[in-house]
Structure 1
Amino acid sequence: MSTLLEVSGVSVSFDGFKAINNLAFKIGPAEMRAVIGPNGAGKTTFMDIITGKTKPDEGRVLWGEKSVSLLSMNESRIAQAGVGRKFQRPTVFEDQTVAENLMLALKNDRSPFAVLGFRPKQHDCDKVAEIAEQIGLLTQLERKSGELSHGQKQWLEIGMLLSQDPKLLLVDEPAAGMSPAEREHTTELLVEAAKTRAVVVVEHDMEFVRRLNCRVTVLHEGSVLAEGSLDHVTSDERVIEVYLGR
C-alpha cells in the first residue's frame, strides 16, 4: 500500500523532557487510524509536529507520493499541501451562519484581491450544500453557528476542514461532550471521510475507538508502544499496565 505520511526517527525535547522519542508512524492515502495513550504520551505534540507548530530536534516527516519533507514548510504551507487539523474545542465563527462558515472555508484563491472581490458562484453554493448534507446540517444552513449544540459545532468544524479538501485530517477527541446520538453521527462522518482521505483520530473513549473499527496506534512516553486492531492492543500487557489499568 502506498504511504501518504511517514514519520521516522522523530524526537523533540522541551526543557530536557523528551515529549517525542524516536517516533515512527505511517498512514496510507485512504485510511482511518486511532491514536490512543495516557496523558503526556505525546499525542498532541505528534500532531503539532505534523502541522508545523513544533519542529523536532531530529527525524523525518515525509509527505505524499514524492516524499516531500514537511519539516521544511511553515504551518500555512503544510495546510495548503493538504493537512487539516481539528482541535478539541470547536472554533467556528459564531456570528456567521452555518452556510457562511462553510463558504469561508472553501478551497478558493486566497490572494488579497481574490478575497476582497469574492462573489459565490453556483458551484460554490452547490459545494456548501453538499458538505452541509454530509455533516448533517443541511437544514441548519441559515442558523447562526453560535446557536448550534456542541456536537453540531464539532460537525461544522469538520465540514469546514472538508471544504478545504485535505488529504489528511487530524481530529482531536471528537467524541468529548457529545450525546450518544451525536457520537454515532460523528463516527459515520469520520468513517465516510476516511474512504477518500487519511483520517487520524486522537481519542480517549475506547467505545468510540471500537466503533471506528480501524488500526490503533498506542503512544507512551513519546514512542509507539503497540499497534494493531483494538483487541490486539488492549490485550497487550504493556498497554494494560501503562494505560488501561488492571
Structure 2
Amino acid sequence: MNAAAAAAATPAARKDRLLEVSGVSVSFDGFKAINNLSFSIGKAELRAVIGPNGAGKTTFMDIVTGKTRPDEGRVIWGDRSISLLRMNEAKIAQAGVGRKFQRPTVFEDQSVFDNLLMALRNARSAWSVLFYRPTDEDRARVVTLAEEIGLDSQLARKSGELSHGQKQWLEIGMLLAQEPQLLLVDEPAAGMTPAEREHTTDILKEAAKTRAVVVVEHDMEFVRRLECKVTVLHEGSVLAEGSLDHVTKNEQVIEVYLGR
C-alpha cells in the first residue's frame, strides 16, 4: 500500500466520511457492470450521480443496499468502519441506509398521516407492532415530517388521491421518518411538473443538511438546481467529479455522455 492509500485508510482520514466504496467490481454473465469503482460521501452531503444508460448507476445503489454482492472490493460504513458487504439488506437498512426507487410505493388506501406514522423509526418486533399505540410525540413527529415535505395540508387525504409528485414527496417523508444517515434517491424528478421539481429540490437540499443524500438523475436542469458535487459514471467507473459546470466541460464526458 502506498503512502496516500495508507493515509486514506486511517480513521483520521475518513472521520468525516459516511460511506466509502473502494475498488468494487461486479460482472453479470461476462458483462462488467461495475469496474473498479471508488466513491465516497460525507455525513452531511448532497451528491448527484449521472451517466448514460448502462453506466452502472442502479448497480451501484444495489451494491450499497445489499441487493447485489460485488465480485471484489470494499464498502465501508460509518465511524466504526463496518463492512456493508457482511450485512444483508435488512441489516443495512437498519444501519441507516434508505433507498427510494423511481416509482413511488405508498399505501394508497391509507391517509398521508397514517403512511408517515407507520414509517416512524420505532420498535418493530411482532409484539410491539401488535400493541402499538401512537404517542403524542409520534403524532408531533408526523406533523413535522409533513411540513418538511410540504404535505401538512394533506394529512387526512388518502395517499392514492395525491398527484405523482406528492406521492414522491410522501415516500421521501416515509424514508426520513426512519431517520436514515444515507438516503439514495433514484430519478426523483421523473414525471414531475416544473413546480414539483423545484419543491423536490428544496426537500433534498434540506435533507442533506443533516444526512448524506445521493441523487441519481437524468434531468440536468434538476441536477443544476441541486447545486452539489456531481459524479459521472461510465461503464461502471467514475469518469469525472466536480460541479456540473466542471464535469460538462470534461472532454471525456462530452464525448461519452453528451455524445459529441
Q: TM-score, normalised by structure 1?
A: 0.99
Instruction: Name the CA distance, whole Å, in 1 between partners of 2:83 and 2:189.
Output: 32
Instruction: Name the CA distance, whole Å, in 2 between partners of 1:130 and 1:244.
Output: 41
Q: For residue 127 of structure 1, what is the aligned residue in structure 2?
A: 141
Instruction: Name the CA distance, whole Å, in 2 between partners of 1:121 and 1:192.
Output: 26
Q: Which among 211, 231, 248 is matched to residue 197 of structure 1?
A: 211
2:67 counterpart of 1:60: no
How much does 1:66 deviate?
A: 1.0
Q: Which among 238, 253, 256 is matched to residue 224 of structure 1?
A: 238
Which ranges in structure 2 are unaligned for 5 or more consecutive residues? 1-14
Calculate percent identity across the aligned residue pairs. 78
Q: Which among 146, 154, 179 is matched to residue 193 of structure 2?
A: 179
Within 5 A, what are the aligned runs for 1:97-246?
97-246=111-260
Secondary structure of the residue aligned to 1:201 is: strand
Q: Which among 41, 46, 52 is matched to residue 32 of structure 1?
A: 46
Instruction: Name the CA distance, whole Å, in 2 between partners of 1:186 and 1:2.
Output: 26
Instruction: Name the CA distance, whole Å, in 1 between partners of 2:114 and 2:198.
Output: 26
Name the aligned partner's letter for residue 82 of structure 1: G
How much does 1:244 deviate?
A: 1.2
Q: For residue 94 of structure 2, what is the aligned residue in structure 1?
A: 80
2:115 counterpart of 1:95: no
Name the aligned partner's letter for residue 202 of structure 1: V
Instruction: Name the CA distance, whole Å, in 2 between partners of 1:138 and 1:244.
Output: 40
Which ranges in structure 1 are unaligned for 5 or more consecutive residues? none
Name the aligned partner's letter for residue 217 of structure 1: T
Instruction: Name the CA distance, whole Å, in 2 between partners of 1:16 and 1:63.
Output: 29
Secondary structure of the residue aligned to 1:114 is: helix
Instruction: Name the CA distance, whole Å, in 1 between partners of 2:25 and 2:129.
Output: 39
Q: Which among 63, 76, 85 is matched to residue 71 of structure 1?
A: 85
Instruction: Name the CA distance, whole Å, in 1 between partners of 2:124 and 2:26.
Output: 33
Instruction: Name the CA distance, whole Å, in 2 between partners of 1:241 and 1:134.
Output: 40
Q: For residue 8 of structure 1, what is the aligned residue in structure 2?
A: 22
Name the aligned partner's letter for residue 220 of structure 1: H
Deviations 1:57-78 (A, max 9, x none): 0000000011100000000000
How much does 1:245 deviate?
A: 2.2
Instruction: Name the CA distance, whole Å, in 2 between partners of 1:240 and 1:209.
Output: 17
Deviations 1:186-219 (A, max 9, x none): 0000000000000000000000000000000000
Deviations 1:160-202 (A, max 9, x none): 0000000000000000000011000000000000000000000
Name the aligned partner's letter for residue 178 of structure 1: M
Deviations 1:24-79 (A, max 9, x none): 00000000000000000000000000000000000000000111000000000000
Secondary structure of the residue aligned to 2:204 is: helix
Name the aligned partner's letter for residue 196 of structure 1: T
Name the aligned partner's letter for residue 186 of structure 1: T
Instruction: Name the CA distance, whole Å, in 1 between partners of 2:129 and 2:256.
Output: 50
Instruction: Name the CA distance, whole Å, in 1 between partners of 2:118 and 2:221.
Output: 34
Secondary structure of the residue aligned to 1:244 is: coil
Name the aligned partner's letter for residue 126 of structure 1: A
